[in-house]
Amino acid sequence: MRNGCFSILPATELVPGDIVEVSVGCKIPADLRMIEMLSDQLRVDQAILTGESSSVEKELESRITTNAVYQDKTNILFSGTVVVAGRARAVVVGVGSNTAMGSIRDSMLKTEDEATPLKRKLDEFGTFLAKVIAGICILVWIVNIGHFRDPVHGGFFQGAVHYFKIAVALAVAAIPEGLPAVVTTCLALGTKRMARLNAIVRSLPSVETLGCTTVICSDKTGTLTTNMMSVSKICVLQSASHGVIAAEYNVSGTTYAPEGSIFDGMGLQLDFPAQFPCLLHIAMCSALCNESVIQYNPDKKKYEKIGESTEVALRILAEKIGLPGFDSMPSALNMLTKHERAAYCNHYWENQFRKISLLEFSRDRKMMSVLCSRKQIEIMFSKGAPESILSKCTSILCNDDGSTVPLTGNIRNEIESRFSSFAGKDTLRCLALALKRMPTGHQNISLDDEKDLTFIGLVGMQDPPREEVRNAILACMTAGIRVMVVTGDNKATAESVCRKIGAFDHLEDFRARSFTASEFEDLPASEKTSALQQMTLFTRVEPSHKKMLVEALQHQNEVVAMTGDGVNDAPALKKADIGIAMGSGTAVAKSASDMVLADDNFATIVAAVAEGRAIYNNTKQFIRYMISSNIGEVVCIFVAAVLGIPDTLVPVQLLWVNLVTDGLPATAIGFNKQDSDVMKAKPRKVNEAVVTGWLFFRYLVIGAYVGLATVAGFIWWFIYSNTGPKIPYSELMNFDSCLKRETAYPCSIFSDRHPSTVAMTVLVVVEMFNALNNLSENQSLIVIPPWSNLWLVGSIGLTMLLHCLILYVPPLSALFSVVPLTWDEWTTVLYLSFPVIIIDEILKLFSRKTTGLRFNLRPRRKREVRDK
């Protein structure tokens, strides 16, 4: 309102104090306070802000509440929410950053991005490795000071330069230059696999972060549930002739798609539900006493609603019941296009009946009625709260023969009992449906007409849990991940959903695990810590509460994944270690997240966790392969110096080994498949080192064997080879004094390229076998055979081909100071290399034994959940 009259203005031009009129379908342009009601009621869908599954009724009166949250402010219309029923005027009280939405934006801007656990650990590992490599290089150079004056070097300075080259070559070999490429490859491959599972990764490192997630804070509405209100149960009077017999029907289908079936109490599907009188009249009433619209969006390829979600649920129920008199109805409906099918049955009833008059829903009556005419017959259909409808009914429709009988006290008690069961035990939102035959020619209805109604039936509806969520939550529990449900919805509804999805299955008493935001804030500081460690459900929350929850969990060293779809989830999504938005969610939530679930499926998160763990395992396998190989090279140099034998490898050969082993095979390790037990282990701790004590011991054992096998190949040629001199070991140790004494062999044999070629080939081949060891950290090669990673097999084959090229192509052999090997020499190489697989299989066996023991020592309750 400007200058006393209303006009259409851009929302950006609103200022505090402006008066705005809103009606059905309007998006609220700013934070407004109600000042005038222009209809019987005003209902607003504010799920985008609070996560409530149902629309909220707004009122003019203010409410006195301590620590009021958005859900308590029933006289405030929040910017960005949508009016679904009614019309009203309100005054602007906040615009821009001073709105509830604006505070969310400010909260997001204050949140700083933190390094992922993998990045932190790799940074620490890189710093540690740099220090170790520098120390080893200096040590290698110092250990060989005694050999600086060896005659073969031609002087002290030349000897010092020679061993400096070896130290530098060792440093180059020890630096894992392939690590960034392997980590990036692992993350990229994981991202590709996740895309196939409908998980779109926006931040590459976030895939791995899921692997060490210890707590998943999941939004309820739209994530664990479909956020599509659906009728799940129907109660009617079956017969009253031989006692009161009520009948219950279950309804399948959990979305706005007109797909689903009606099942009787025995679980048998009804082929033609519309043949039953009560179900037929329920379909009529649902279609006619309804102001909502359901339509198919071909661009988004899904069904969408306009209006109140409970009314849309009734429209979908009418579609599932179908039409009378058509035996081929189910197959005929399937032949329609999705656009035609969306409301075909509803349109049928709207064409059969002409709407004459409407009594809108009001808060005091808690019901609405519509007068319809068909073939000179006027019928009033009513729907509303069961207690209101029942109080106005004097008769009831029977489902067996379509007769109408008086609503006796016994029948009323039976219906009320079923209503209590629906609303209490099943926590369904219930509506009752009724009708009344009106006098011929009646053109208007009034409040006085809403009496002497005929009760048709009771319907119970809910925002249904996704079918796959229950198994996904059990998989999380098995993997040692705690699932915490965080929602703005009320406590009773959320607890019901948690029971249905299995979040409370492992708890005998969940009262100490379920808190509202106000209950949690009232706890003393000491009790808040213990409550956080046990909490499974957190209800009636605001965006600030979600962010506070994430921060508190992170202070307890938890790695937190937060899921959400609304604007209210954005601050928490950004603050969490990994934010996961729903594909159908708001653009704000997606931009704040690290990953988007295109199918809104919580179960996809479980697959993502497994993928994250596999990526971390592959990264560890690469590091293990690299460290054990590099330890082998260091051991080789050290042992040669300690034994006093000639250098086993020249610098160019060290660099060649580094090139072929740290290149293709190392990168191919990133293509390893998941271990079969990847989701049976507890999440790794955030402060857990990339290389633990036991793993480092395994690296040392394998590395020591690699180095000793290389030296053994070198010594073998001098002592045992048919093409070698077959000199005693003592002569080999005294090679540096050969020119000063008489020998039975020429001193030139110590400059022969055969022994170093054998040693280098042993080092290459043993590292190829070691690469096969790294298909899995603990699983045997029998369980995960080499052909499970064909990329690794191919890279090993290509590496050996390249190695053969430098051995047998003269220009290359001269460049790398190598010579062709004989069959006997190749046989020896294989004999010396293959035992590395046997040694690692033994070490893996010990690892599996200790891991199994650790699992068996877990508390019994957790083990029972895992078994289940």
Q: How many CB atoms lie within 10 A of CB 824?
A: 12
Out of 45, 150, 219, 840, the active site residue is 219
Strands (E), 151-229: 199-201, 215-219
Dist. CA 502–CA 500, nearest whole Å: 6
Q: How far is CA 306 from CA 4, 25, 551, 722, 807, in A?
A: 32, 8, 37, 89, 75
Dmax (CA) of the chain: 135
219 is catalytic: yes
414's CB contacts (< 8 A; 6+ apart) are 237, 244, 246
Can you list the positions of beta strands (E) in 189-342?
A: 199-201, 215-219, 230-239, 245-251, 262-263, 293-297, 302-306
Q: Which residue has the tokens 């064909």?
A: 790
Q: How far apart are CA 666 and CA 359, in angstroms?
A: 74
Residues 6+ apart with CB under 8 A from 175: 129, 133
Please choose, from the candidates 478, 479, 483, 475, the residue with its C-alpha nearest in 3D space to the C-alpha of residue 553: 483
Torsion angle of alpha carbons 548, 551, 552, 553, nearest 10°? 120
Q: How far apart are CA 670 and CA 620, in angstroms?
A: 10
Report CA-CA distances (Å) from 359 to 12, 386, 444, 698. 37, 17, 9, 79
**What interhelical angle do 693-719 and 602-643 show, nearest 10?**
40
d(CA 562, CA 541): 14
d(CA 285, CA 397): 13
Give the residues across from 54 on adjacent strands.
none
Three-class SS state of 600: coil
For the annotated catalytic residues, the residue numbers are: 219
